[in-house]
């Protein structure tokens, strides 16, 4: 009897002992600082690998002498942003001194690109270095490994054991109540370029899961123009003079229809086949803005082929096609850096595309798209409440899959209309149209499936000070209090929602994190393209001096104006001296929401 009592008395202690020995994976606490790598040792131990971090100690928290000096001298990102977006007179002077401007551009390229690991490191199935993670290009790579599966909370150790309901989170903090225009004057020409450009390498393979990509090129390859497979490319090609297939409507060249190019496109079954346009990307029939850019590049490709044919009359169809493609890739990168990124940054510093700046630097000409970059680039707030084309308003229901807008209105009218309609501000929250909100909900859900580390861990990786509170993140109190109630701790805040909710810079399209995280991915991907390497960047690659000059002088305005009969207003920002009809409509009382 006494023995039984003793056993009953010991039972609670036995359970306590089991609980004590079931230790939490110490890497769930993210103990390794300054890019140190956490390695689980034994049942409850860990080691931090501080190799080449510039720090040492148990948690890689003690700086070396030179790391201390560098940290002391390095200006804050907000200070640098202020300098770059002010003092126009100073930057105008520097722009006229080529060797100084080149030196600054070289520093921008190397400093940003060096933040992205090359070769790639992790993927969604491997939170440690492996050959599979390196060699299997069907995965998106990962900047940070997934949160360990045995952590007590979804983001590590902070916050609650369950994350907020994703639908409620999106509707409360991301859904638009009233259109918030971008203070930088960004227009729909920019918004559709962003969507068109990025969808050649940001292509999640939903059949395999959110950690996989269909875009095996992992960079600027214009697969959205030429098709992602050789079979699709061959269907799109004319196989004469290097050109792509086309159709003529009302005297102008447009994309061919699927009746002439039998490729798979994603259109509603109610749309007649003759109205379905055949495009390199199977989803680009969705929006007239994407069809517009696809038409521009089709015309540009065939225009370049005519020039190459005149220069090289003995060249085969294949050589004309392949060389034209390289020229268009070069044009794309130049437009992205000198027009697109220049506008997006808001910098007074003049950005230039000159691959030779990196020829004497340690630089790897290979790129892998990271899943964090894929999530970061979901800029749904850019889209307005409706689309104004030649004074006519199109709600989403009438705009989507409407190929007749392009064919009937024409390229010039679309370009001018989109150039004059202001896009929405990306940062600050509450600016995603209800029709697009489900896509953002999907991004948050995928982030959870992929076990992305919390937002502050990414802040640390990019050398940014982690936020200490939700108020510091959002710049106000009410939303901050609501977020704290949902997440419990700022170190549990998720990556994608935080990027959209972060307080924007003054008069800017988004905040510090989007700039400091997005720029390294972008510049590494652009300058890591093979055509930017010493063996490729020379006239012969592009068919001689004439082709090389097409690349080196490319601009958004030239892309449009060389491929239309009458040059319209074209830019990535709305004109300053033109009344914006879309803004007037947006300011009117809305009964939509």
Known catalytic residue: 377?
yes
Residue 502 · residue 473 · CB < 8 Å: yes
For the beta carbon of residue 478, count every other beta carbon within 10 angstroms. Answer: 9
DSSP 196-259: HHHTTT--B-TTT-TTBBS-TT-S---HHHH-SSHHHHHHHB--STTPBP-EEETTEEEPPBTT
Residue in 377, 467, 487, 505 annotated catalytic: 377
DSSP code at position 40: E
Query: What span, in angstroms and rounded, lies between the C-alpha atoms of 141 and 154?
Result: 21
CA nearest to 243, candidates 322, 313, 310:
322
Residue 106, helix vs strand vs coil: helix
Query: What span, in angstroms and rounded, lies between the C-alpha atoms of 223 and 225?
Result: 5
14: CB partners within 8 A, 6+ apart? none
Known catalytic residue: 126?
no
Element (H, E) at 387: strand 387-389
* Residue 262 burial by Cβ neighbours in a 10 Å radius (0-12, 13-18, 19+): exposed
Residue in 196, 199, 224, 489 annotated catalytic: 199
Query: What span, in angstroms and rounded, lies between the C-alpha atoms of 223 and 227?
Result: 5
Query: What span, in angstroms and rounded, lies between the C-alpha atoms of 117 and 110?
Result: 12
DSSP code at position 357: G
Query: What span, in angstroms and rounded, lies between the C-alpha atoms of 328 and 308?
Result: 13
Cis (ω within 30 of 0) for the bond into 119? yes
Catalytic residues: 199, 377
């Amino acid at each position: 009897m006494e023995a039984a009592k003793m056993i009953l008395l010991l039972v609670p202690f036995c359970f306590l002992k089991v609980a004590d020995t079931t230790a939490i994976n110490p890497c769930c606490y993210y103990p390794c600082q300054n890019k140190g790598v956490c390695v689980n040792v034994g049942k409850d131990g860990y080691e931090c690998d501080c190799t080449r971090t510039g720090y040492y100690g148990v948690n890689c928290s003690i700086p070396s002498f030179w790391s201390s000096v560098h940290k002391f001298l390095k200006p804050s990102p907000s200070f640098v942003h202020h300098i770059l977006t002010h003092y126009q007179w100073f930057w105008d002077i520097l722009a006229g001194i080529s060797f100084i401007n080149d030196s600054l551009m070289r520093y921008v390229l190397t400093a940003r690109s060096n933040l992205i690991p090359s070769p790639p490191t992790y993927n969604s199935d491997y939170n440690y270095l492996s050959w599979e993670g390196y060699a299997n290009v069907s995965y998106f790579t990962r900047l940070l490994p997934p949160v360990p599966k045995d952590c007590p909370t979804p983001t590590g150790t902070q916050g609650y054991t369950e994350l907020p309901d994703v639908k409620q989170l999106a509707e409360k903090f991301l859904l638009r109540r009233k259109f918030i225009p971008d203070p930088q004057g960004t227009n729909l020409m920019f918004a559709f370029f962003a969507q068109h450009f990025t969808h050649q390498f940001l292509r999640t393979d939903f059949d395999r899961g959110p950690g996989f990509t269909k875009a095996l090129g992992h960079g600027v390859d214009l697969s959205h123009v030429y098709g992602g497979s050789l079979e699709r490319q061959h269907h799109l090609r004319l196989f004469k003079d290097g050109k792509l297939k086309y159709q003529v409507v009302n005297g102008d060249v447009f994309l061919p229809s699927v009746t002439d190019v039998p490729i798979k496109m994603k259109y509603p079954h109610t749309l007649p086949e003759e109205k379905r346009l055949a495009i390199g990307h199977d989803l680009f029939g969705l929006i007239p803005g994407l069809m517009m850019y696809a038409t521009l590049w089709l015309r540009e490709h065939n225009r370049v082929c005519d020039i190459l044919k005149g220069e090289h009359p003995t060249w085969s169809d294949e050589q004309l096609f392949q060389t034209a493609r390289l020229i268009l890739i070069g044009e794309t990168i130049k437009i992205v850096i000198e027009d697109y990124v220049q506008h997006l940054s808001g910098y007074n510093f003049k950005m230039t595309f000159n691959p030779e700046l990196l020829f004497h630097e340690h630089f790897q000409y290979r790129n892998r798209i990271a899943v964090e970059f894929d999530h970061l680039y979901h800029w749904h707030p850019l889209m307005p409440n409706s689309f104004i084309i030649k004074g006519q308003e199109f709600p989403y229901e009438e705009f989507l899959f409407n190929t007749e807008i392009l064919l009937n209105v024409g390229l010039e009218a679309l370009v001018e209309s989109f150039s004059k309609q202001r896009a929405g501000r990306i940062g600050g929250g509450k600016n995603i149209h209800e029709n697009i909100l489900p896509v953002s909900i999907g991004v948050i859900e995928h982030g959870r499936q992929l076990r992305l580390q919390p937002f502050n861990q990414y802040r640390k990786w990019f050398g940014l000070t982690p936020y200490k509170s939700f108020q510091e993140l959002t710049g106000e109190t009410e939303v901050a209090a609501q977020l704290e109630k949902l997440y419990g701790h700022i170190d549990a805040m998720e990556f994608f929602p935080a990027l959209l909710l972060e307080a924007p810079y003054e008069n800017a399209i988004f905040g510090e994190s989007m700039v400091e995280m997005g720029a390294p991915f972008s510049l590494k991907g652009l300058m890591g393209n093979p055509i930017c390497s010493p063996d490729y960047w020379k006239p012969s690659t592009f068919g001689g001096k004439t082709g090389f000059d097409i690349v080196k002088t490319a601009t958004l305005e030239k892309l449009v104006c060389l491929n239309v009969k009458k040059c319209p207003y074209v830019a990535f920002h709305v004109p300053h001296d033109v009344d914006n009809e879309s803004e007037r409509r947006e300011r009117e009382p809305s009964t939509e929401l």
